[in-house]
């Protein structure tokens, strides 16, 4: 738990340079728009020419819904295309899985670069916070369960098994769409752009807090990674985002007050962006598609 009081946070918020905060929000907006545009590259090889407007609104709706139930937004995102563009759910969801894999590869690349630059800090951070034995046991048990379940699905002729097989085939087709794209290099460029904007918005927003002036590249990278993990593990990083940043910044001797304040400013500004555009998307989606009947 943070010992920073609300009054202290309000002082930081009052004295913050909002020019940098707005710029950070703009960079975040660019990353979301790029993600929506990139998604269309995956759908095209399967014969679906999705409207850019629907793609953009589906992406923003995803982020907003993820604040309620973690990962529920991805399901809603695929469902939106099913309703308004006629893309089978399993295929749409498969493309989302594929793009998450691409994002994970870039994230691993960022971690690898950070590990190379700040090995001692990263190693100590991971050892302190994760029980490696439990993680390995969970992975082994999970692999065994997946193997047994796949054996059952392959041999069974029940309606349930047939539906599961059909779903998996569609999922695989969506996942493999990344390799069938005519614009695969554009996809890669957008992926790098998305994560470049994520990093840049994190760094730029730090300028809003005068106490963080001169923050090192290592602190920015580790703070960014820690904050990203907090978002993946919770409902959009609610409550945990500032603490994750402080946990990372504290390794570099950065005080708690500016770290927590920056975390809340960073999280609040990006959350405001999501609430605004996500809410508008959910409201405008049926209006935007009012002349098109919902497809099965």
Q: The dihedral of CA 212, 213, 219, 220: what is its sign? A: positive
Residue 217: which residues within 8 A CB-CB, separation 6 or more? 117
- Token duo for residue 189: 């460029």
Distance CA 160, CA 129 (A): 41
Burial of residue 120 (CB within 10 Å: 0-12, 13-18, 19+) is exposed
Full pLDDT tens readout for the chain, 296 residues: 567 778 888 999 999 999 999 999 999 999 999 999 999 988 888 888 999 999 999 999 999 998 887 778 889 999 999 999 999 998 888 888 888 888 888 888 898 888 888 777 666 655 666 666 766 677 788 888 888 887 877 777 777 777 777 767 766 665 566 667 788 889 989 999 999 999 999 999 999 999 998 888 888 998 999 898 888 777 777 878 999 999 889 888 888 899 999 999 999 999 999 999 999 999 999 999 987 654 44
Residue 129: the pLDDT is: 61
**pLDDT in the model for residue 1:** 54
pLDDT at 159: 77
Tokens representing residue 198 in the block:
């994520």
Cα(48)–Cα(290) distance, integer angstroms: 19
pLDDT at 253: 85
* Paired tokens of 260: 């927590």
CB burial readout 98-118, b (16+ within 10 A) else e: bbeebeeebbeebbeebbeeb
């Amino acid at each position: 738990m943070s010992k920073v009081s609300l009054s202290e946070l309000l002082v930081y918020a009052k004295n913050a340079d909002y020019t940098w905060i707005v710029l950070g929000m703009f960079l975040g907006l660019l990353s979301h728009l790029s993600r929506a545009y990139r998604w269309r590259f995956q759908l095209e090889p399967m014969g679906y020419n999705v409207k850019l407007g629907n793609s953009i609104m589906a992406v923003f709706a995803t982020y907003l819904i993820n604040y309620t139930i973690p990962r529920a937004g991805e399901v809603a995102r695929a469902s939106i295309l099913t309703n308004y563009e006629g893309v089978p759910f399993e295929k749409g969801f498969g493309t989302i899985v594929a793009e998450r894999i691409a994002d994970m590869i870039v994230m691993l690349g960022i971690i690898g670069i950070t590990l190379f630059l700040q090995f001692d800090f990263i190693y100590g951070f991971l050892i302190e916070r994760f029980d490696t034995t439990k993680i390995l046991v969970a992975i082994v048990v999970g692999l065994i369960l997946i193997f047994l379940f796949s054996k059952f699905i392959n041999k069974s002729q029940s309606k349930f098994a047939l539906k599961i097989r059909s779903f998996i085939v569609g999922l695989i087709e969506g996942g493999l769409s990344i390799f069938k794209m005519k614009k695969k290099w554009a996809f890669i460029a957008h992926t790098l752009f998305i994560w470049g904007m994520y990093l840049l918005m994190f760094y730029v927003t730090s300028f809003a807090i005068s106490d963080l002036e001169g923050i090192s590249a290592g602190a920015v990278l580790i703070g960014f990674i820690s904050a990203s993990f907090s978002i993946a593990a919770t409902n959009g990083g609610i409550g945990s985002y500032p603490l994750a940043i402080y946990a990372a910044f504290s390794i570099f001797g950065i005080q708690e007050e500016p770290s927590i304040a920056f975390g809340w400013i960073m999280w609040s500004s990006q959350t405001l962006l999501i609430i605004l555009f996500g809410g508008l998307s959910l409201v405008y989606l049926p209006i935007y598609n009012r002349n098109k009947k919902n497809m099965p």
